[in-house]
Amino acid sequence: SSSSSSSSSSSSSNSVSSGAAFMTRRERRPPPRNIKNGCTIESILSRDEDDEETTTTAFNHPRRRRRRDLMMLTSSVFVFPTNAFNAWAAALDDDETKHQKLITNQVFFEFAIDGTKIGRVVVGVYGNESITARRFLALSKGIQGLSYRRKPIIGIEENEDETVETPLWITSSAIAKFEAPGTGEAINTVPGGLTNEELLMDLGKIKHDRANLVSVQVRDDPRMPKPEPKSKLVSNRGKFERVYEPLPPEPNGTSFSITYAPSEDLDVTNVVVGEVISGFDVLAQIGSLPTVPDNSDSPFFQVAKSIGDKRALVSEKSFGKPFAKVTLLNCGEVASTKSGEEVKSEDGAGEEQSSQ
């Protein structure tokens, strides 16, 4: 009995001493219960001054410092960029609204691939911004039967810098002569005249800074070298003479392009005349067509071109053209009410003035 009492007394003394030691450690650095319960840093700093040492210890603990840094990082990452994003979004909305206010008329283009109609693209024209825009509107509506009807898409410019080539813009064929189809009667009522002199003053008014812009080419790229005149030998009174063919004419302000991305290269050659309003799925189909690759860097092509091989000259003209034939089946003006809403006919289709 004496031995059992002694053992029990020894165990109780050990537990008391261990408990005293634990209490001593706890008193020396009490746990920051406020942090454990999800309290913020501000509540820790607002504790009584008597507990200043405990607060400093809890605040400087490595785990607490990580939590403090995380909270500061969170506030700096998610609060301030939100304000910047709102300002950026508002600027975009203002820019889009500004461009929409420039629209005075709407025209449509019906596209076909290899003779199969794929849909319609509606373009809002900035009719009051430039002479070039008024010329584009007149040719889209039709002047004595002269319009973009049955004109092909002759090029799809692609971005070769990216891993996957994406389209930058598509280009239509130009109207060669300002003559009435069938009769050959000269048309002198084209806005801006029969040359591109007046159209050059419209360059740079609106930048090609986004997708779905429609622009008209008014000059060649001055940064590119001019082509040399082609020559050929002809027989004249029993003697061979070298005759030089005339250079191709300057753009007459009829070929138009539609952008798929910001295209600053067009700023020096094209004048923005409007923007696409609907038919984006049609443009996506055209932009996804495979095109003839540009092999101008090939040594075989360079040698063939240097010796005047006609096959090289023909292949050079086809660079960038789609393998499929893309044409404009029809075009015209979309009739609209004074409020800007499209007029609906009895069958629900929008009324239009075709160029046919």
- The pLDDT of residue 249 is 82
- The pLDDT of residue 223 is 87
- The pLDDT of residue 214 is 97
Distance from the Cα of residue 44 to its chain's centroid: 51
Banded model confidence at residue 66, pLDDT cuts 50, 70, 90: low
Residue 267 per-residue DSSP state: G
**Whole-prediction pTM value?**
0.66
Residue 253 per-residue DSSP state: S
Residue 169 per-residue DSSP state: E
Do residues 272 and 205 lie in contact, with contact meaning Cβ atoms separated by under 8 Å? yes
Average pLDDT over residues 267-291: 95
Q: Alpha carbon of 191 to those of 164, 173, 178, 203: distances in Å?
A: 41, 19, 12, 16
- The pLDDT of residue 69 is 58
Please tell me the distance from the alpha carbon of residue 317 to that of residue 8, in angstroms, as a whole number: 106
- The pLDDT of residue 35 is 45
| Token pair in block for residue 153 | 């898409």
Task: Give 141 or 315, the one with higher predicted confidence.
Answer: 141
Do residues 107 and 331 lie in contact, with contact meaning Cβ atoms separated by under 8 Å? yes
- Could you identify the residue written with the tokens 């998610």? 78
| Token pair in block for residue 163 | 């891993």
What does the radius of gyration of the chain's CA atoms come to, in whole angstroms? 37
Do residues 215 and 265 lie in contact, with contact meaning Cβ atoms separated by under 8 Å? no
Task: Give 159 or 137, the one with higher predicted confidence.
Answer: 137
pLDDT higher than 50, residue 4: no
